[in-house]
Amino acid sequence: MKEITVEVVFAVAEKQRLASVTLPVGATVAEAISESAIASSFPQHDLRSLSVGIWGHEVTREHVLSDGDRVEIYRSLNMDPREARRQLALTGQTMTGRPKDSRKAGPR
């Protein structure tokens, strides 16, 4: 029987998990997530209700996987990153937490 190996990933601010699983050819995203047991590491999150993708492209859970795919489980964001940058800019901050005018000085 031919097999494929894929990675399944999920992350929250406090922790992340990456699991490598081997599945039969023709396996789906849903099967990879189930086989990875990643949900047990995040009991406070209902991973079944979250969007999924492969290498940054959203797919359905019925999508058939290829060898080497990286299945990503996408959590909802608290705020759109663009809006977060706008809010920080209003206070003179950047995403790095440094004030906007405190750029690193280069060699002199």
Q: CATH number, domain at 25?
A: 3.10.20.30
Q: In which band, very low, low, confident or very high, does the pLDDT at 95 lie, cut at 50, 70 and 90?
A: low
Q: Does residue 84 have a pLDDT over 90?
A: no
User: Is residue 67 assigned to a domain?
Assistant: yes
Q: What string of DSSP letters covers the chain?
A: --EEEEEEEEE-SS-EEEEEEEEETT-BHHHHHHHHTGGGG-TTS-GGGSEEEETTEEE-TTPBP-TT-EEEEEPPPSS-HHHHHHHHHHTTB-TTSSBTT-PPP---
36: Cβ contacts below 8 Å, ≥ 6 apart: 8, 19, 21, 71
Q: How high is the pLDDT of residue 100?
A: 59
User: Is residue 39 assigned to a domain?
Assistant: yes
User: Is residue 84 assigned to a domain?
Assistant: no
This prediction has a pTM of 0.70
User: Is residue 83 assigned to a domain?
Assistant: no
Q: In which band, very low, low, confident or very high, does the pLDDT at 17 lie, cut at 50, 70 and 90?
A: very high
More confident residue, 20 or 89: 20
Separation between Cα atoms, residue 108 and residue 4, nearest integer Å: 54
pLDDT in tens, 52-83: 999 999 999 999 999 999 999 998 766 677 87
User: Is residue 89 assigned to a domain?
Assistant: no
Domain extent for 41: 3-74
User: Is residue 104 assigned to a domain?
Assistant: no
How many structural domains is the chain composed of?
1
User: Is residue 43 assigned to a domain?
Assistant: yes
pLDDT in tens, 39-49: 999 988 888 88
User: Is residue 103 assigned to a domain?
Assistant: no
